[in-house]
Amino acid sequence: MCSTCGCGQPDDHVKIVVPGEKDINKGQPDHGHDHTHSHTDDHNHHGHSHDHHDHTHSDQHGHNHDHHNHDHHHDHVGQDHTHSHDNRQLNLEQDILYKNNLLAERNRGYFEAKNILALNLVSSPGSGKTTFLEKTIQLFKDGPEMAVIEGDQQTSNDANRIAATGAKVVQINTGKGCHLDAHMVLHAIQRIEVNNNSILMIENVGNLVCPSMFDLGEKQRVVIMSVTEGEDKPLKYPDMFMSSQICVINKIDLLPYLEFDLEKAKDYAMRVNPKLKFFEVSATSGEGMDKWIDWLLAQTQ
């Protein structure tokens, strides 16, 4: 658990890498902010915290024991502490995602203060998120600066592709994690200097299910579907289309070779979310990208 953030996301397998910089292993970076704990073996894994209750919380709690041996399962015989052993019902009404949501709001506040337009790009694996970003950066040369956070379970391949365009980029490897969360993004932005008045593109892990529940603090969510995926993606994965504001339909250069009904795809997406705004593009040929670029520019005015 990361005490600075107070966030309990499972981050012990998460790696954050900036291309060209030395790989700082494990968890969050230990520079540039005030983390004082080390992320090595004293890391509190979820639920393992009773194994090492060597700290005394006596003062704080007005009772005097530091044994807390939960293995004995409240076999408290002969111990003179002042726990109340009555059943107590705590009515919490606590949002399960409140920590992620708090950190997302913190990110959002940071972005707003610096006038950074943050977009969260989501899609199934291989829809063309990275290609779309490469093309966007290329076409956006005269616009505001663009920085990128890449999310993948493994490898820095996508970050390296972005780095080759000259843009600032940081890679998050989620390990087994199937989505980015606000905590990872918080630490990733500590690794690159995102300037005021710029754009931050966050490429999420390729997955149309899990990332939908995790607010990263973005201004808008962009779901990308490609014409090779079938028109009914929005109906099969409604949560993602529901939680996005923008829908990019990519790989339209392939339309002549496929039986993909563009209007039907849009109609399905509109059933899930009638407020979606569409862009139809080919990230490889550049077709349709002008409208997207114009829209982006308008967002940063």
User: Per-residue contact track with Mg ion, 128 to 167, x per CB under 5 A?
Assistant: -xx---------------------------x---------
Q: How far apart are CA 110 and CA 236, in angstroms?
A: 34
CB of 81 vs ligand GTP, minimal distance in Å: 53
For residue 109, the 8-state DSSP code is H
Q: How far apart are CA 91 and CA 139, in angstroms?
A: 53
Confirm or reject binding of residue 52 to another protein (CB under 8 A). Answer: no
Among 20, 84, 257, 298, binds another protein (CB under 8 A): 84
Q: How far apart are CA 152 and CA 156, in angstroms?
A: 8
Among 5, 199, 222, 283, binds ligand GTP (CB under 6 A): 283
Kindly indicate which of the ranges 51-59, 125-133, 186-194, 221-229 contains the residues binding Mg ion, using the contact rule CB under 5 A. 125-133
Q: How far apart are CA 66 and CA 193, in angstroms?
A: 44
- Pairing relation of β-strands 15-17 and 168-173? antiparallel
Residues 260 and 226 sit within 8 Å (Cβ to Cβ): no
User: Per-residue contact track with another protein, 87 to 106, x per CB under 8 A?
Assistant: xxxxxxxxxxx-xx------
Among 247, 251, 265, 293, binds ligand GTP (CB under 6 A): 251
CB of 90 vs another protein, minimal distance in Å: 5
What, of ligand GTP, Mg ion, another protein, none, does residue 251 touch, CB below 5 to 8 Å by kind? Answer: ligand GTP
Q: 5 Cβ partners below 8 Å, 6+ apart?
A: 103, 183, 186
Cβ proximity to ligand GTP, 273 vs 284, nearer residue: 284
Among 13, 61, 264, 291, binds another protein (CB under 8 A): 61
Query: What's at 119, amino acid-wise?
Result: L
DSSP string for residues in 228-273: GG-TTHHHHSHHHHHS-SEEEEE-GGGGGGS---HHHHHHHHHHH-
Q: How far apart are CA 153 and CA 196, in angstroms?
A: 29
Strands lying side by side in the sheet with 246-250: 15-17, 168-173, 146-152, 199-203, 117-123, 220-226, 246-250, 277-280
Cβ proximity to another protein, 50 vs 264, nearer residue: 50
- Pairing relation of β-strands 199-203 and 146-152? parallel
Confirm or reject binding of residue 36 to another protein (CB under 8 A). Answer: no
Residues 222 and 121 sit within 8 Å (Cβ to Cβ): yes
What, of ligand GTP, Mg ion, another protein, none, does residue 125 touch, CB below 5 to 8 Å by kind? Answer: ligand GTP
Tokens, residue 63: 């009772």
Cβ proximity to ligand GTP, 210 vs 283, nearer residue: 283
For residue 211, the 8-state DSSP code is G
Confirm or reject binding of residue 291 to ligand GTP (CB under 6 A). Answer: no
Among 24, 102, 139, 213, binds another protein (CB under 8 A): 213
What is the contact surface with Mg ion in residues (CB under 5 A)? 129-130, 158
What is the contact surface with another protein in residues (CB under 8 A)? 1, 8-10, 46-51, 57, 61, 63, 70, 73-74, 83-97, 99-100, 177-179, 181, 209-210, 212-214, 234-235, 238-239, 241-242, 268, 270-274
